[in-house]
């Protein structure tokens, strides 16, 4: 209902009955508004338009959003790309949304704010990747550490430093080299624009230990080392990070 209506205003109406028992034409402004609202919602869904909505209240599993006068459901998982614990901070706010689902039979509408953020992030990723070059050195932040490597945020796009590219020496876990939220420099080893995968390296920022080995180790020198692998034919000894030598089984005793 529009309380500001006055005599002389032009409005849309829905013809309910052309002639009732009293010969009157029965019209409905409310039904006309509802039909027009559904037209706009369907159009926004079909054209993937960005629309504004007013967050009315919290409900089980999400929020209720007023879109063109229709109550739409915003699932908690569709609010942001990161998990949201306090839904109440969004109540009474006007936000941008995309209509992601419409159930015509039950007249249900589902909207998403997360979809807009994802679209923006994808554009940022595409722009960043388009400027990448192999061998380029960038600063990033350690975002996640796994047993097989480290994910680094390069400012909108993530790259992976595989565990074998963290150090010239052998390590058991990436946490031996980096910490979560640590800022590090990495070098671009390779990238796939289609799959948006970026391979990064950390050890490549320093010379390979073998390059300077002749300056520090000479034939006949006695050196200490760490046993890293034992095989049937002997043992591999690490005498410096990334530098391993073999003691053949015949030379052990």
Predicted pLDDT of residue 35: 83
Question: Cβ atoms within 10 A of the Cβ of 143, count?
Answer: 14
| pLDDT attached to residue 131 | 83
pLDDT tens readout for residues 110-141 = 999 999 988 888 888 888 888 888 999 999 99
59-81 pLDDT, tens digit per residue, is 999 999 999 888 999 999 999 98
* Contacts for 65 with CB less than 8 Å, ≥ 6 apart: 53, 54, 55, 56, 71, 72, 73, 74, 95, 97, 111
Task: Dig out the tokens for 16 from the structure.
Answer: 């309910």
pLDDT at 160: 95
Overall average pLDDT of the 225-245 stretch? 85
Q: Which CATH architecture has domain 14-115?
A: Beta Barrel (2.40)
pTM above 0.75, yes or no: no
Task: Provide the 3-class DSSP secondary structure of residue 249.
Answer: helix
Pick the CATH number of 131-205 from 3.30.1490.20, 3.40.1110.10, 2.40.50.140, 3.40.50.2020: 2.40.50.140
pLDDT at 10 over 90: no
Task: Please choose, from the candidates 92, 99, 49, the residue with its C-alpha nearest in 3D space to the C-alpha of residue 73.
Answer: 99
Give the Cα separation of 47 and 63 in Å (integer): 24
Q: Boundaries of CATH 2.40.50.140 in the chain?
A: 14-115, 131-205
Of the pLDDT bands very low, low, confident and very high (cuts 50, 70, 90), residue 105 is confident
């Amino acid at each position: 209902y529009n309380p500001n209506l006055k005599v002389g205003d032009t409005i849309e109406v829905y013809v309910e009955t052309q002639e009732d028992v009293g010969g009157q034409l029965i019209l409905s402004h409310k039904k006309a508004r509802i039909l027009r609202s559904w037209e706009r919602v369907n159009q926004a869904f079909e054209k993937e338009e960005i629309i504004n909505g007013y967050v009315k209240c919290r409900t089980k599993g999400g929020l209720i959003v007023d879109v063109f006068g229709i109550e739409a459901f915003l699932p908690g998982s569709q609010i942001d790309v990161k998990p949201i614990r306090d839904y109440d901070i969004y109540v009474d706010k006007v936000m941008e949304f995309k209509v992601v689902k419409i159930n015509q039979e039950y007249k249900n509408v589902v909207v998403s704010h997360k979809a807009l953020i994802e679209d923006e992030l994808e554009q940022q990723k595409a722009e960043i990747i388009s400027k990448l070059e192999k061998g380029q050195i960038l600063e990033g932040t350690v975002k996640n550490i796994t047993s097989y490597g480290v994910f680094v945020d390069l400012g909108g796009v993530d790259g992976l430093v595989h565990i074998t590219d963290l150090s010239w020496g052998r390590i058991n876990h990436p946490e031996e080299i980096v910490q979560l939220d640590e800022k590090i420099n990495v070098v671009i080893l390779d990238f796939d624009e289609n799959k948006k995968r970026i391979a990064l390296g950390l050890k490549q920022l320093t010379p390979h230990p073998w390059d300077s080995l002749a300056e520090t180790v000479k034939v006949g020198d006695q050196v200490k080392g760490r046993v890293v692998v034992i095989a049937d034919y002997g043992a591999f000894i690490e005498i410096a990070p990334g530098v391993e030598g073999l003691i053949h089984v015949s030379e052990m005793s």
